[in-house]
A and B are shown apart, each in its own frame.
Chain A
Amino acid sequence: MLNRGRNIEKGRVITRRMFILAAAKILLFAGISSRLYNLQISDREKYEILSDKNRIREWKTPPQRGIILDNFNKVLASNDRVFQLHLILDEINDFDVTIFKIKNLIGLDQFEIKKLYKKKERLKPWDTLVVSDNLTWEQFSKINLYLHELEGAKPVLSTSRFYPYANDLVHIVGYVGDASLKDLEKPEIKENFVPGLKVGKYGIENSQEKMLIGNYGIKRYEVNASGKRISQIDYIKERQGNKVNLTIDIEIQKYAQELLKGKAGSICAMDIYTGEVVAMASSPTYDPNKFTHGINQKDWQEIRNNPLKPLINKSIAGLYSPGSTFKPLVALAALEYGILDPDKTIRCKGHKHPYELYGVKYHCWKKEGHGYMKLRNAIKQSCDIYFYEMARLLGVDKLSIIAKRYGLGANVLGDLYNDEKNGLVPDTKWKRRALEQSWYLGETVINGIGQGYIQTTPLQLCLMTAQIANGGYKIKPHIIKDDSINYKDVINKIKLDQSNFPLHERNYLDDIKVEFYQRMYHRKSNINFVLDAMFGSTNEQYGTSYKSRYDDPKYQFAGKTGTSQVRRITDLDRELDLDTDQIEYKKRDHALYVAFAPYKDPRYAISVIIEHGGSGSKAAAPLASKLIKRIIDRHKLRERYNNGNTSLA
């Protein structure tokens, strides 16, 4: 019985302890269940995202860049078909072997191979390595032929930037290249960048990046744990960048560029009402297509070391003393402020009896002198003595107000070109601030003939001429077609204002800000006087550009020559009186010419600058004359086109 009692007790202990264990089990199972609940119900979304992140990998596909067109929709920058070789890294077992095979097929040199290895280090194992982005057809077909032996190699038909007018447009359109770290900081590039995408490096390509870059596409693939693509699950198509229409006429641009061939200089042409830049040539030039796939060292050195500096966009980044092309503006200022009567006569006595001020002598360019001059004649024959005196009477500060108002000393195209220069229109305040010196009257005197501190770009001179030629109205120069401007309205508005006798609501002699398409003059007769004098300069005997004139009223133009000194002329120089050819290139004067055409109903303004070209009448005016004819010949076409008749292209 005792034994039996003990046994019953033992059985109870076992059962009791089992129930304690069972309770613990229930607790622990509850723990598991709540954990499952947490993972699968509370945090489900988080883990779903993680799971998708695991299995879905995105590849960005590069967009096509927007094309750039000229005024007549001629393509200036397109996307050309190119042959490329890509390597899918996760399909390659032995990178060295593959590279070796490729090297033998397409002939990579040691330097290029090193670059590939470096590139590969920066890529993720599932990325694509671009071995070459521009294969020749021969290389491409070779790769295709041996494709079965090349692990992971993928011949790709792609597009790349192509500039059909190559050298003729590089200073306007710019070029593209690989994005630098600095490029990647720009928001429009940062947002849309895909490895290998080319971005704008200069010009329109650079400043219109936002328009041109487009949006990349996304290819989503399901991948397994080792990164191998299993299936494509989504493809958001890339969007090509927007097109950009320029106001440039490529025919004129080409011709301007041709005229400048072999010279260093610039030609700008502008619609005097609408402000459209028709041509903006800079010479010498270079081929932007060379930059697309990375320029080679030799070509780069050639461009860099060219003494005529092709990399400088002379139309907007070249700074020149305007020389005598400044004179119409000086005359206008003097007339506006009523400084002198245009009938005032000054005698130019030649080098023997120069203009004297406080003991300093100022010579006219003409050795034998012009004789008795009135203002019109002084502009026409470009007499320096007259302008010395006039500038002295006018004073630099008044001159600077008018010069700035007509477009000098300020950036013309806004932020389109990061290298555009402001130029400099000096006044007394500026000198005190910048040089901490007071102004000397002698500086005013030489300022009167466009020498001294004054610095202008060719495009500014073109704008100045345009704004005088249109009767003294402020225009908005632009090189990208602006749909917000109704050209017809703008022209009509200015022309209507010209024919009226408007009241003076504002004092135009003060330094006031003028709105676009509003007049800038104080008295209209002053503008007309200057225009007439410029007509004389070109179309009357003794005028400085008389030889370049057209008699046909259709092409007849008016202009002003300029010869800007690049150094001080010594008495010895005056004595020698050498021809341009006899002077060392670097020491020759710059030749300038500004003009507007046709004289009767002006529409275009033009500026020509030939660096170290000698005299404006010999080197610059003939080029302007030729180009003006071409521009006027194409005017009707342009007019019809801009009025909405696009079928002409």
Chain B
Amino acid sequence: MLRERIRASNYSFLDKLRSIDYLLILLIIAIGSISVFAIYSTEGGKFSFYTKNHIIRLSIFFNLFLVLSFVRVSTWYKNAYLFYVVGLVLLITVLFFGISASGATRWINLYFLNLQPSELMKIAVIVCFARYYHRIQNSDIQSYKFLIQPIILLIIPCYLVIQQPDLGTSILIAGSGITIIWLAGLNIKYFVYSGLLLLVSLPFVISVLKPYQKSRILTFFNPDRDPLGAGYQIIQSKIAIGSGGFFGKGYLKGTQSYLEFLPEKHTDFIFTLFSEEFGFLGSIILLFLYILLIYRIINVGLVSRSFFAKLYCFGFATAIFLYVFVNIAMVLGMLPIVGAPLPIMSYGGSSLLSIMLGLSIVMSCKIYNQEQISAY
């Protein structure tokens, strides 16, 4: 009966409440709370600007997440391209009217928030690609005709974001798009070939990078090349994490951060601070929370009927994984410093907004998991 009713899209509110993934909500609350404590610590244990702002944003966006969770998944499907186009328009707006900070033009001033459209684009690409591949037949996927469109759709935002310049976000956008193409079932050989092509063209790519990006990559391979300049962040981050030991230095006792050796500790290096204060144990627990979050998102995909929902959830889960992995690997000195926030933990409105938005679509997939989307 229920199944019938759901198919007929006659969900009662109670049914919807029943379908909510409460563990997912719990995980969001848990990571959110940890982030509040971590940001409180970055301010040396004072309740001031960053902590206040973070709490406000977190509560607003969490509520937004709850509300948007009840938007039908078919609505997302219908407006997927629109979402992408809006993202693109905003990116172009940045090009002309963006505001700059430390040499990069990434933001649009919305008065209550400096919006970073590239963050929204991360989600928009997933939604857009999920829709695109939702209706393509298995047999058509391998054809160039259907391959060329997503590639163009991907290159445009990536190019715009690189121009800001923001290599990190651009790579993450590309990563999310390629993930969906992979999930949709494009032949493995394409990935192998393009991987090889990338390797071969790497020297050329590096040569067109901005000097600071080049130096970051060179520094990644040898942080001692310039210990007070480009290598400083990574050296200090490793010192902070390493000195944390198993149990950490204790909450609000991370000397590396409160004595200001750590740069950008409330954004990209929030994990470093957390790891210094809570040690290996805390870091593994936080990592576990993220794995759980990714697992829950994948789970939603598994129980969803529509390809759109599946592609979206698997894609978004991989995207979250990529954000977490790139950020942590970066602060651990395993990847070059590219500027990628840690989802939910890092201070920053746009990143938080896009993650919450993305999660709300996941939740909507969960609530309406039996909804079939006709390929119109």
Contacts and interface: CB of A to CB of B under 8 A. Distances in A.
A41 B246 contact: yes
Max count, chain B CB within 10 A of own CB: residue among A13, A41, A225: A225
B314 A21 contact: yes
B362 interface: no
Interface in B173-195: 179, 182-185
Max count, chain A CB within 10 A of own CB: residue among B182, B243, B261, B307: B243
B298 A11 contact: no
A12 to B, nearest CB: 9
Interface residues of B, number: 45
A36 B241 CA distance: 8
A290 to B, nearest CB: 44
A11 B310 CA distance: 8
Nearest to A10: B138
Contacts of B182: 17, 21
Contact of A50 (B184, B243, B245): B243
Contacts of A226: 260
Interface stretch (B29-37, B114-122, B146-154, B321-329): B321-329
A47 B259 contact: no
Contact of B243 (A35, A36, A47): A47
B74 interface: no
Nearest to A43: B242
Nearest to A47: B242
A518 interface: no
B260 A32 contact: no
Contacts of A9: 138
B334 interface: yes
B301 A18 contact: yes
A32 B287 contact: yes
A39 B242 contact: yes
Interface stretch (A22-30, A122-130, A252-260, A390-398): A22-30
Interface residues of A, number: 40
A51 B183 contact: no
Main secondary structure of the interface of A (DSSP, over half): helix
A26 to B, nearest CB: 8
A10 B255 CA distance: 53
Nearest to B235: A50
B312 to A, nearest CB: 11
Max count, chain A CB within 10 A of own CB: residue among B239, B280, B310: B239
A233 to B, nearest CB: 11
A364 to B, nearest CB: 84
B287 A29 contact: yes
A14 interface: yes
A55 B261 contact: yes
B318 A47 contact: no
A39 B241 contact: yes
Given A10-B185, A14-B307, A36 B284 contact: yes
Given A21-B318, A32-B325, A55-B255, A13 B138 contact: yes
Interface in B288-308: 291, 294, 298, 301-302, 307
B154 to A, nearest CB: 18
Contact of A47 (B241, B287, B301): B241
A55 B241 contact: no
A10 B243 CA distance: 49
A44 B314 contact: no
A466 B332 CA distance: 79
Given A25-B321, A54-B261, A35 B334 contact: yes
A14 B246 contact: no
A478 to B, nearest CB: 55
Given A10-B307, A21-B182, A25-B294, A40 B242 contact: yes
Given A13-B138, A43-B242, A48-B242, A33 B259 contact: no
B210 to A, nearest CB: 26
A541 interface: no
Contacts of B184: 13-14
Nearest to A54: B261
B346 interface: no
A114 interface: no
Nearest to B186: A17
Given A14-B183, A29-B291, A47-B238, A36 B260 contact: no
A213 to B, nearest CB: 34
Contact of A54 (B139, B259, B283, B284): B259
Given A36-B280, A39-B242, A51-B242, 6 more contacts: A13-B184, A13-B185, A22-B298, A39-B238, A47-B241, A54-B255
Interface of A: 6-7, 9-11, 13-15, 17-18, 21-22, 25, 28-29, 31-33, 35-37, 39-41, 43-44, 46-48, 50-52, 54-55, 222-226, 230
30 contacts: A6-B137, A6-B138, A10-B137, A13-B138, A13-B184, A14-B184, A14-B307, A14-B314, A15-B310, A18-B183, A21-B179, A25-B325, A31-B329, A32-B332, A35-B329, A36-B241, A36-B283, A40-B241, A40-B242, A40-B245, A40-B283, A41-B280, A43-B242, A44-B242, A44-B246, A47-B242, A47-B243, A48-B242, A54-B239, A54-B261
- Closest 6 interchain pairs by CB? A47-B242, A51-B243, A13-B185, A40-B280, A225-B260, A224-B259
